[in-house]
Amino acid sequence: MDVYLGLDIGTTSIKMILTDGEGKVVESRSRPLGISTPGHGWAEQDPEDWWTGVTELLSSVPGNVRVRGIGLSGQMHTLVPVDREGKVLRKAILWCDQRTASECAGAETLLGGESRVVEMTGNLIYPGFTLPKILWIRKHEPEVYRNIATCYIAKDYIGWRLTGERATEWSDASGSSCWDVSARKWRSDLLSALGVDEGWLPPVKGSAEIRGTLRPELARRLGWGETKVVCGGADNAVSAFGLGVASPGDCMISIGTSGTVLAVTESTAPDPTGRLHFFNSVLPGQSYYMGCMLAAAASLNWFRDAMGRDLTWDGIGKAVEETPPGAGGMLWLPYLNGERTPHRNPNARGVLYGLSSMSDRRHVFRAVMEGITYGLRDSFELVRAATPVKRVVMAGGGAKSAVWRRMTASMMGFPVSVAETEEGGAYGAAMLAALGGGLSLDDVREWTRILETVEPDFAEKEAYDRGYVQFQALYRDLRERFDATAGNG
């Protein structure tokens, strides 16, 4: 049987799927990943752990299939500095790492301010982005900096290990802080102003273009032929493509460890305020506006570990359903690790407000789920103002919860669909492998099918609208306090 293979280098796991030529999942496997936090707000991984997981997964491919192509997906922004011999110089600094706030501020000042940076790249410079990580290394790890030859993002490092070819593509380059999203090119003047060598950045291709073929020694070990590897894309862009979010007006709301709201557009104009990210999609001529929250399901996981270990996820859903919208006046600000959209505030922190002697953990779990969804609504309102939204597809672990699907539809006041496949970035990566292998876009679009559409409950929406006003006001009330207590815990 001929199959297409998708690999997703995620934050907590590496996932591999095999699909046939009609998009049916033949095999799905994963390997877990750990995260190290050597400092407050820091997050790192060893790229060798990625490679070990990838090779284990590739070695597990059944011998009765022929891999026609490999597609890649992975966590955005994560920096992997490599020397001339291909040696990784330090652990990868992840997308959720918040150590570079001063580097971001310094770079924006040097480049002429926030508005000028948005004009140059389409985005503000965020602490999690790639370029400020390079600037941080220059200041704090000069020996590492002096030996840099290439700066990879996660899936591009794996692509290099697979093929020996240096490359990246539009969607991951978009999150680097040195890529002009509108013009689709590295911003040479920006790099020169900041003193960063443009030669460290890989050549850029299309997401469905062939990156190269498997290294001969790896192909021999696996017993494969000259298997092609396509460039792939950034996790959010590839996940959206894998859900069929691939036409202007399509929108994805994803509730995973982080949360995203992404809408496809053919516009070349970024959000002038910089509150929304503006990135290239995996398809030619398309980009997307995106809002990102750093602790979506991570918030719910944190509370489950703290006060609900005896509950299954279905049990948490039941507890939420037993409590009316509004959580008895309780609110949760889901800013455990700072926040990107819309606040761009690394000092923001999680706040549970409104506890009383009548409160129990059912109220807490509903407040947490509502607070995460309010945070996503912040992004949804900004996205909808930037480009028309015609349909919404929900993804991630949150999409598996019936109560969360209904809450999202009602809170946004918009029908929410769920796709038949739940494979995320790995599935979209297999779709890109199929495109690179010769299937047409129309053929690949037929792989995606809608399983269910949930309509909003407008009676519930009224309660959520009242809660949303208080949610926004609570952040405004505490914004000064967040900054005043930064670094105290």
Q: For the packed helices 313-321 and 361-386, what is the interaxial angle rounded to 10 degrees?
A: 90
Q: What is the dihedral of CA 115, 120, 125, 128, to 10 degrees?
A: 150
What's the burial of 185, exposed, middle or buried (CB within 10 Å: 0-12/13-18/19+)? Answer: exposed
Q: How many CA atoms lie within 13 A of 312 on its CB side?
A: 4
286 Rama class: left (phi>0) / alpha (psi -120 to 50) / beta? beta
97 is catalytic: no
CA 285, CA 210: separation in Å to the nearest integer? Answer: 19
Q: List CB contacts of 457: < 8 A, sequence separation 6 or more.
A: 406, 409, 410
307 is in an annotated binding site: no
Name residue 153's amino acid: I
Q: Which of 180, 235, 271, 378 is catalytic?
A: 235
- Residue 179, strand partner residues: 186
**SS3 (DSSP) at 471:** helix
Q: H helices of 122-163, where?
A: 130-140, 142-146, 154-163
77 is in an annotated binding site: yes
Q: List CB contacts of 12: < 8 A, sequence separation 6 or more.
A: 32, 33, 35, 257
Active-site positions read: 235
Q: Which residues are annotated as a binding site for substrate?
A: 76-77
Q: Which residues are annotated as a binding site?
A: 76-77
